[in-house]
Chains A and B, each alone.
Chain A
Amino acid sequence: MQNELKYVGKSWRRKDGPDKVTGRAVYTQDVKLPNTLVGRILRSPHPHARIVRIDTSRAKALPGVKGVITVEDTKGIKHGFVETPRYPPDQEVLARGKVVHVGEEIAALAAVDALTAQQALDLIEVEYEVLAAVFDPEEAMKPGAPEIHPSHPKAPRALVNIGGTTETEWGDVEKGFAESDYVREDRFECQLRTHGYLEPHVTLAHWENDKLNVWTSSMGVFVKRAKLAKVLDLPYSSVRIHKTYVGGTFGGKIDLYSHEYCACRLSMLTGRPVQIAASREEIFSAYRHAQPLTLEIKTGVKRDGTIVAQRIRAINNAGGYRGSGVVVIFLAWGFTMIPYRIPNLKYEGFSVYTNHTVRAPQRGHGAPKVRFAIESQMDMIAEALGMDPITIRLRNARGPGEKLPNGDDTHRGNLGECVRVAAEKSGFLEKFGRDRKSPPKGTIRRGIGIGVSAYMGGTLIYPNGSAVIVKMNDDGSAIVLTGAIDIGQGSETVLSQIVAEELGIGMDDVKIISSDTDTTPQDIGAWISGMTYVTGNAARQAAGNAREKLLQAAAEKLGTRAEDLLAENKVVWHRLNPEMRLTYREVIAYSVATRRGDTIIGEGFWRTMRDEPMHPSLATTRGRWTENYAFSAQVAEVEVDIETGEAKLVKALTVHDCGFPINPALVKGQVDGQVSMALGHAFMEEVLTKDGYTLNPNWLDYRMPTIHEMAISEDADVITEQYRVGQPYRTKEVGEGLISGILAAMGNALYDATGVRLRSTPFSAEKILTGLRRLEYQKKMARKKTPEPAGS
C-alpha cells in the first residue's frame, strides 16, 4: 500500500465549516414544521415536597391550549442515566407524588403560541406539602436526615440517601502507610459548575403516520432513541431521531430529558408538531449540571517520593435522582489509578441523594476534581520531601507496556515522556519557586505549576460499538453512512479524511450522511471519548472493504490478481504494468453489470475489547475498561495580584499523547477549548445555590471565560502511534482528558506564585487574599512565637 498519507494526519478544513460560517447549518432550533405547537413545562418551586393534588382543568379550558399532560398521562416507565440490574432506572418522565428538586417537571402542555402556553402554565393548580430538604451530601448521609429516596440495598446500613457506592482495594494500605516514610491526609472540594453550551436544549417532535419524528439537541441519536422508545413504550422503528447540527454539549445533552419525552407525548396527543425549547434560566435552574466531588486523600510515600499507599474517600452530591452520580464515583477511582503506580490502594466512593438538580457528566466527568486533588497533594508531598514537582512525578509516572490493576495495558502510552517534555519545553525548573524566593517589586507574582492526567477512550456503553457503511457511486465518489454526530469535535471531517485515504479518492468526493437513526448504522455516540477511535476504525474498515471489492472487480475485468493492483486518485492499475488500468468509473460499471447492481458497498464495524461483554462493575470496578489510555502533562503559568487577590492563567502548555492525530488542527482546537474551560473552573465559574434555588441563572452572574480571559495555549503531541492504510490504528483521547491536569497545574502555580495552597476550587480573589493574610499573620506570629487564633 501507499506509504505517503494524503489526507490522514493533515489539518483539513472542516467539512461542515462552510455551512457554519454562512448560517446554512441547521441546528435543532432552526427546524420548522407547519402548524407547530409551542410546548412548556411546569416545574416544581420546592426542593422537596409531596404533591397532594394537581388540577389542570383550567389550563385545558384556556383557548389555544391543545394538550396538557401529567404523570397520569404517561405509561409510568422509568429511565435513568444508568440502567443495570444493580442500578435500575429510577426516574419517571414527570413527577409522581413527590418532587425532589427545584425545577422538577410536573406537567407539560402545548398551545398555539408561547404566550398562551405561558398563561396556561399559571392556570395549573398544584397543592404541595412541603418536606424538609437537605442539600449537603455529608448531612444527607447521616441517619435522621430527610429521606429523599431509600438508600441502595447494598449501601452501608448506617447511612441514608445513598444512591450507590464504589468500593475497591488492592494490596494492604495500612501496611503501606506503616512502611511509608511520609504520610499526609488532605481534603479537597470543588464547586458546582455547568456545561455552558451555547445552544439551549430544544426538541421538535412530530407524530405522523404512526411514527414519531424527533429533532433534538443531543450527543448520540441511538441512545436518545433507545430511551425515548422505552419511556413512550414504542418499538424502535416508530421513533426516528433526525440529524441536526449540535451547538455544544460538553456532557450536558446525553441523558433523556423530560422535555424530550413531553414534546413527543404532546405531539402524539395533539397530532401536531410540538417544539419545546428550554430558556437559559431553565437550563441554569432546573437542568443537569456537573458533579461537585469532595475527596479525602491519604497518601504514603517513600523518602524518594515513590507512592506506597493511597486511601481515597469520594463523596458526590448527586442531586435528586441517581443520574450519572454512580458513574462519577466509579470514574473517580479510574482517574486515580491510571497515571501513577499505586501499589496499595483503598478506594470508597459514595453517591448521595440531595435536593439539588440531577447531575450529568461534564467534560472530564470527575477527572478535573480528582486530578486537582491528587496533583495538589503531590506538590505538597514533594515540598515536604525537599523534591521538585517534576522529579516526584517521574518517580511514579506510568510508562509503556504497563499492566494496570484492572488488567488493562498502557500499550505505548508514556506519562513519563509527557512530563519530561513538559518540563523541558516550559523551562519548568528554572522558573519554579522564583517569585517566592525573591519577590519582585510591585503587586504581581508569577508562578508555574504542573499537573498530569490520563483518560480512557471508547469504553463499553450502549451501543458499545460503531458500524459504518461506505457506498460508492458510479463515478467513484462515496457516501459515508455513519451514526456519528458532529457536536463540534469534527467527526464528519475526520471520517471523511479516513475514507478518502483508504479509498484513494478526494476529500470533496466524500459526503457524509450522519446521525439519523433510520438511515445510518448504529454508533457509539459523542460522549465517551471514543468516536475517532471506534467510529473512525469502523469507517476505515468500511472503506477498506469497499476498496477490496473494487480491486476484486478490477482484477476480474483485467484478468489479473487483486494483490497486484494499486488504487489511487480514482484509478486502479497493475503495479508492474501501469498501462493495465481502469478508472473507478469503469470498475464500478463492471461491478454493476456483474454483481446485481452493486455500485460497491463497504461495511465496517469496530468495538473495543471484543472479548469483554460489558463495562466494568460500577460498584466493584472489576472488569476491563478500555484498550485506550491517553496520558498528558500540563504546565500552567499564573499571575496573581497580591493586592486584589485576582489571579489569571497567562500561559498553558499541554503535552499529550492522543495516539495518532488524524487532524492535528482539530486536536489543537480540543486542547485550546479545554484550557479555556479549565480556567473558567479555576477562577470564574460557580453555580450558586441556596436551598436548592439557583441564584445566578444567567451568564451575567455565572461568569464564563470571555476573550479577555484567553490564555496562550501551546501544545506538543507525543506521537506514539502511526497510521497505515489498511491497518487498524490507535487514536486515543483528546476531547476531555486535557481539562484536568491544567486545572491542577493552575492550583500548583498559584501556590508557586504566592505560597497560598487552596484545597477548593474556584480560586477566588477572596480565598487568595485570605490565604495571603494568613501567611502574613503566620510570619508575624512565628516571630512573636504565639499560637495562631482559631478561625483566622
Chain B
Amino acid sequence: MLEATRGSRTAATKAPTQLISLCVNGEWREVAVKPRHTLVEVIRDSIGLTGTKASCESGTCGACTVLLEGRPVLGCITLAIECDGMEIRTVEGLAQGEKLSALQEAFLDQGAVQCGFCTSGMLMSATALLENHPKPDRDQINKALEGNLCRCTGYNAIVDAVLQASGQGVKPVMR
C-alpha cells in the first residue's frame, strides 16, 4: 500500500545528498546539498539570503559575487559542496546591525545604485578590495571590479563611491 503511493523518484532526487557546514556572515549553518548545487543556489534557496543575485549562470557578470574565506568568488560557478567548512560573507553581512559600512554609505552618497541588481556583487568585490588595499588607486579599482557588470551607472559613480569609502577626497553628491 505504501509502495503504491510512494511514486517514482525524479532525476533530481536520485543523486546523493551530503550535509555541509558553512559559516555564513558569522553564523554556522548546516545544509544538505547535491554535488551539482552551486553556491549561489544554496545561499539563495537553502539558506534564504536573497541579497546575492543570480543573473548569468556562467560567471560573466559578477552579480552573484560573495566572499569565500575573504576572497571574492562567483557563486554561480562555485560548487557548494567544495565550500564545506568555509566562511562566506554576503551583502547581508556588510552592515553592523543598523549601521551601514562606509562603502554602503558611499554607494548611497554617490548615486552608485540605480536598479540595484549588480549592487550586491559590486559591494562584495569592492569590500574585498578595500580590505586588502585601504587606499586603492584607479588601476586597482578597475582590476577589482572588472568582473562586475553594471548596465545602469556607467561605473563612474561606483568608482567615486570606492574612492569616497577609502577616504580619498571624494565628497558625497547626494544628501
Q: Are B142 and A707 in contact (CB under 8 A)?
A: yes
Known A13-B109, A21-B113, A29-B53; contact A250-B151, beta-carbon cutoff 8 A: yes
Contacts of A195 in B (CB 8 A): 151
Q: Which of A23, A200, A707 contacts B159 (CB 8 A)?
A: A707
Quick check: is A661 within 8 A (CB to CB) of the other chain? no
Q: Which of A14, A708, A713 contacts B154 (CB 8 A)?
A: A713
Complex CA–CA separation, A774 to B111 (angstroms): 45
Q: Are B120 and A23 in contact (CB under 8 A)?
A: yes
Q: Are A672 and B108 in contact (CB under 8 A)?
A: no
Contact with A along B40-66 (1 / 0, CB 8 A): 000010001111111111101101000
Quick check: is B81 within 8 A (CB to CB) of the other chain? no
Q: Are B50 and A13 in contact (CB under 8 A)?
A: no
Q: Which of A10, A114, A250, A699 contacts B175 (CB 8 A)?
A: A10
Complex CA–CA separation, A32 to B44 (angstroms): 10
Of chain B, the residue at the smallest CB distance from A671 is B154
Contacts of A677 in B (CB 8 A): 151, 154
Contacts of B159 in A (CB 8 A): 707, 710
Quick check: is B167 within 8 A (CB to CB) of the other chain? no
Contacts of B115 in A (CB 8 A): 197-199, 245-249, 487-488
Complex CA–CA separation, A30 to B53 (angstroms): 9
Known A115-B10, A488-B114, A707-B158; contact A198-B61, beta-carbon cutoff 8 A: yes
Complex CA–CA separation, A525 to B11 (angstroms): 42
Of chain B, the residue at the smallest CB distance from A21 is B104
Q: Are A12 and B156 in contact (CB under 8 A)?
A: no
Known A21-B123, A25-B116; contact A707-B148, beta-carbon cutoff 8 A: yes
Known A20-B119, A22-B100; contact A196-B151, beta-carbon cutoff 8 A: yes
Quick check: is A698 within 8 A (CB to CB) of the other chain? yes
Q: Are B117 and A248 in contact (CB under 8 A)?
A: yes
Q: Are A247 and B50 in contact (CB under 8 A)?
A: no
Known A14-B113, A24-B51, A488-B115; contact A116-B11, beta-carbon cutoff 8 A: yes
Contact with B along A1-19 (1 / 0, CB 8 A): 0000000001111101111
Quick check: is A442 within 8 A (CB to CB) of the other chain? no
Contact with B along A482-503 (1 / 0, CB 8 A): 0000011110000000000000
Quick check: is B86 within 8 A (CB to CB) of the other chain? no
Question: A88: shortest Cβ distance to chain B, in Å?
Answer: 34
Question: A725: shortest Cβ distance to chain B, in Å?
Answer: 20
Complex CA–CA separation, A677 to B155 (angstroms): 11
Q: Are A698 and B60 in contact (CB under 8 A)?
A: yes
Quick check: is A755 within 8 A (CB to CB) of the other chain? no
Quick check: is A615 within 8 A (CB to CB) of the other chain? no
Contact with A along B89-119 (1 / 0, CB 8 A): 0111011000010001001110101111111
Highest count of chain A CB atoms <10 Å: which of B50, B58, B156: B156
Of chain A, the residue at the smallest CB distance from B52 is A23
Complex CA–CA separation, A245 to B90 (angstroms): 19
Q: Are A13 and B174 in contact (CB under 8 A)?
A: yes
Quick check: is A560 within 8 A (CB to CB) of the other chain? no
Quick check: is A113 within 8 A (CB to CB) of the other chain? yes
Of chain B, the residue at the smallest CB distance from A493 is B174
Contacts of A281 in B (CB 8 A): 57
Quick check: is B170 within 8 A (CB to CB) of the other chain? no
Quick check: is B7 within 8 A (CB to CB) of the other chain? yes
Contacts of A687 in B (CB 8 A): none
Contacts of B19 in A (CB 8 A): none
Quick check: is B149 within 8 A (CB to CB) of the other chain? yes
Question: B98: shortest Cβ distance to chain A, in Å?
Answer: 10
Q: Are B108 and A699 in contact (CB under 8 A)?
A: no
Complex CA–CA separation, A115 to B13 (angstroms): 9
Tally A residues with Cβ within 8 Å of B. Answer: 70
Which one, A96-104, A593-601, A662-670, is touching chain B? A662-670
Contacts of B50 in A (CB 8 A): 23, 26-27, 29-30, 32
Q: Which of B107, B109, B146, B150 contacts A708 (CB 8 A)?
A: B146
Q: Please report whether the interface of chain A is mostly helix, strand, loop or mixed according to DSSP.
A: loop
Known A63-B8, A489-B114, A699-B60; contact A18-B108, beta-carbon cutoff 8 A: yes
Complex CA–CA separation, A279 to B115 (angstroms): 19
Quick check: is A700 within 8 A (CB to CB) of the other chain? yes
Contact with B along A109-121 (1 / 0, CB 8 A): 0011111100100
Contacts of B107 in A (CB 8 A): 17, 21
Quick check: is A704 within 8 A (CB to CB) of the other chain? yes
Contact with B along A53-82 (1 / 0, CB 8 A): 000000000011000000000000000000
Quick check: is B157 within 8 A (CB to CB) of the other chain? yes
Of chain B, the residue at the smallest CB distance from A11 is B174
Quick check: is B145 within 8 A (CB to CB) of the other chain? yes
Q: Which of A200, A665, A669 contacts B152 (CB 8 A)?
A: A669
Quick check: is A271 within 8 A (CB to CB) of the other chain? no
Question: B162: shortest Cβ distance to chain A, in Å?
Answer: 10
Of chain A, the residue at the smallest CB distance from B54 is A29
Highest count of chain B CB atoms <10 Å: which of A25, A195, A196: A25
Known A21-B119, A21-B123; contact A199-B55, beta-carbon cutoff 8 A: yes
Quick check: is B1 within 8 A (CB to CB) of the other chain? no
Quick check: is A427 within 8 A (CB to CB) of the other chain? no
Q: Are A710 and B146 in contact (CB under 8 A)?
A: no
Known A247-B115, A488-B116, A675-B154; contact A200-B174, beta-carbon cutoff 8 A: no
Q: Are A116 and B10 in contact (CB under 8 A)?
A: yes
Complex CA–CA separation, A487 to B116 (angstroms): 9
Contacts of A18 in B (CB 8 A): 100, 108
Known A11-B173, A199-B117; contact A706-B149, beta-carbon cutoff 8 A: yes
Quick check: is A299 within 8 A (CB to CB) of the other chain? no
Quick check: is A439 within 8 A (CB to CB) of the other chain? no
Complex CA–CA separation, A441 to B53 (angstroms): 48
Of chain A, the residue at the smallest CB distance from B58 is A698
Quick check: is A535 within 8 A (CB to CB) of the other chain? no
Q: Which of A30, A489, A699 contacts B61 (CB 8 A)?
A: A699
The 10 A-B residue pairs with the shortest CB-CB distance, nearest first, are A23-B51, A247-B117, A488-B115, A676-B154, A20-B116, A672-B154, A488-B114, A30-B50, A699-B60, A23-B91
Binding site for A on B (CB under 8 A): 7-13, 44, 48-58, 60-61, 63, 90-92, 94-95, 100, 104, 107-109, 111, 113-120, 123, 141-142, 145-159, 173-175
Identify 26 residue pairs between A and B in the complex whose beta-carbon atoms are under 8 Å apart, listed by A's number.
Answer: A13-B174, A14-B113, A18-B108, A21-B104, A21-B119, A22-B104, A27-B50, A27-B117, A63-B7, A111-B10, A113-B10, A115-B12, A116-B12, A196-B149, A198-B150, A247-B55, A248-B151, A279-B57, A488-B116, A669-B152, A673-B152, A699-B60, A707-B142, A707-B146, A707-B159, A708-B142
